[in-house]
Structures are given as C-alpha cells and as structure tokens.
C-alpha cells in the first residue's frame, strides 16, 4: 500500500530544466508541470512520461506552431 504518491513515483514528470539543475545542486524539491512536487534523484528515463505532464506540455505549444489558433487539443481526439 502506498500513501497516494505511488502513482506519481512511477512516472517521469516534466520539469523546467533550470529547476532540475538547481535541485541537483541544492537538493531542493522541484515542481512538475502537473503540480507534483518531489526531489528528483532516480533516472527518469526508466519511467513512462506522466500523462498529465505530457498533456500540459503539449498544450503549452511544444509542437511548435501546430494548433495555433485552434485552442488546445481540439484538433484531434
């Protein structure tokens, strides 16, 4: 049994790179796009990308100009 954080720990979350760097240096927690707060330490490549982070990341315009003016994510389902 976990304390409710278990699901989050199984994902790799998106975090701003400079935040990761600062965290690595100072050991401070970082805030992921989805709101998850934790201290990165494990290799994120071992985990699937957090679906919530991914959605937020893509809605922020990670796909370049694609979808510009079309709102967020209503182009395809």
Binding site for Zn ion (CB under 5 A): 13, 32, 34, 36, 50, 52-53
Task: Please identify, using beta-carbon distances, which residue of 9 and 27 lies nearer to Zn ion.
Answer: 9
In whole angstroms, how close is the CB of 72 to Zn ion at the nearest point?
A: 17
- Helices and strands (H and E) in the chain: how many: 3, 2
d(CA 52, CA 14) in angstroms, rounded, equals 9
d(CA 59, CA 62) in angstroms, rounded, equals 7
Task: Please identify, using beta-carbon distances, which residue of 55 and 67 lies nearer to Zn ion.
Answer: 55
In whole angstroms, how close is the CB of 77 to Zn ion at the nearest point?
A: 22
């Amino acid at each position: 049994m976990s304390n409710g954080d278990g699901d989050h720990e199984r994902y790799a979350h998106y975090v701003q790179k400079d935040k990761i760097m600062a965290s690595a240096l100072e050991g401070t927690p970082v805030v992921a796009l989805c709101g998850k707060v934790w201290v990165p330490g494990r290799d994120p490549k071992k985990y699937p990308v957090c679906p919530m982070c991914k959605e937020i990341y893509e809605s922020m315009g990670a796909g370049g100009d694609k979808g510009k003016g079309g709102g967020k994510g209503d182009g395809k389902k």
